A = this chain, B = another copy of it.
Amino acid sequence: MKLSEILQKIDENSAAKKLKNDAILKGIAPLEVASDGYLGYVDQKQYLKSLKTSKASWVLIREADLKEVPDHIEAIVVENPHLVFAKISHFFKKDEFGSLGEDAIIDPSTRIMPNVFLGKNVKIGANCVIMPGVVISDNVEIGANCVIFANVVIYRDSKIGNNIKIHAGSVIGSDGFGYAHTKEGEHIKIEHNGNVVIEDNVEIGANCTIDRAVFGETRIKFGSKIDNLVQIGHNCVVGEHSIIVSQVGLAGSTTTGRNVIMGGQAGTGGHIHIGDYVMIAGRGAVGKNLPPHTKWGGHPLMELDEWMRFYVTLRRELKNKKV
């Protein structure tokens, strides 16, 4: 569809009329990765730095930032760039199930148990077991020697490597939790058109949720082990050989290095990086980037040494005080 048509359909008529380069909109993307025919947006100062070198054809931008737009990108001035971007994302939404999966390519050594549902264009390698009640959506690829336990759901486009176990009830590739907000306080869904990639030798516990990326991918790297009831947000990266204990939550776009250990019920904010070999004690609440080879605990988060002393000292100090 031409960009002007899309803008009209979402009631951005003024922007539609002013449009100079009214070509087919090929897709939407972050400015860093957008190419010719794509549209990006700027809605925070920090995004401006990607603007000069972006290969996007158009950018949604506030009037105040207009002077920052380079000549090779057409500025589309709107009041709320994130909200308009969210609305346009709906035109690129992919169907979860295109058809009924008659075309799956499955290695004959693999065992598909009863009551399994396979979407369109599914590929499954050798020596896998796909247990009853598993639902695998369109374009999912699964490597060799995998066990997908009962009632697991794998959303479209997920890529599952080799030697992987996914325990019962886990959900891989569900929509990320992202919305733009109107002035009236309504939330407009941002369609998450990325996917989830799980590298070789990963094991995922029962009833976990791993959301797919808004663009690009959410990735669980080689050899990582994830316990039950863990939440991995959209666009997260879990580094190689990491250990994520039960009930941990990683907020969107948070990444970890290799051999990171997160104790049970720990959690993170979004857009954080946790360095290689970092250890987070159970219930630790990570709100900032953490350098490699460090240990942390508590909420607010402190280095483990400080945290171990902190409450001991406090309780001693308070002992003689009355409420």
Contacts and interface: CB of A to CB of B under 8 A. Distances in A.
A187 B150 contact: no
A294 to B, nearest CB: 16
A169 interface: yes
A258 to B, nearest CB: 7
Contacts of A155: 168
A309 B96 CA distance: 47
Interface in A168-207: 168-171, 174-175, 177, 179, 185-187, 189, 201, 203, 205-207
Given A206-B209, A231-B246, A117 B135 contact: no
Nearest to A259: B185
Interface extent on A, as a size class? 35 or more
A205 B228 contact: no
Q: Which of A97, A129, A168, A300 has the most CB of B within 10 A?
A: A168
A298 to B, nearest CB: 8
Interface in A24-76: none
A251 B264 contact: yes
Given A299-B283, A314-B318, A186 B96 contact: no
Interface in A234-284: 241, 243, 245-247, 249, 251, 258-259, 264-265, 267, 269, 282-283
B318 A310 contact: yes
A160 interface: no
Contact of A177 (B225, B233, B300): B225
Q: Which label, helix, strand, loop or mixed, suits the secondary structure of the A interface?
A: loop
Contacts of A265: 249, 265, 267
Interface string A135-155: 101000000000101110101
Interface of A: 96-97, 100, 113-115, 117, 129, 131-133, 135, 137, 147, 149-151, 153, 155, 165, 167-171, 174-175, 177, 179, 185-187, 189, 201, 203, 205-209, 211, 223, 225, 227-229, 231, 233, 241, 243, 245-247, 249, 251, 258-259, 264-265, 267, 269, 282-283, 285, 298-300, 302, 306, 309-318, 321-323
Given A267-B265, A310-B318, A323-B309, A168 B177 contact: no
A247 B265 CA distance: 9
Contacts of A300: 311
A299 B298 CA distance: 8
A264 B69 CA distance: 36
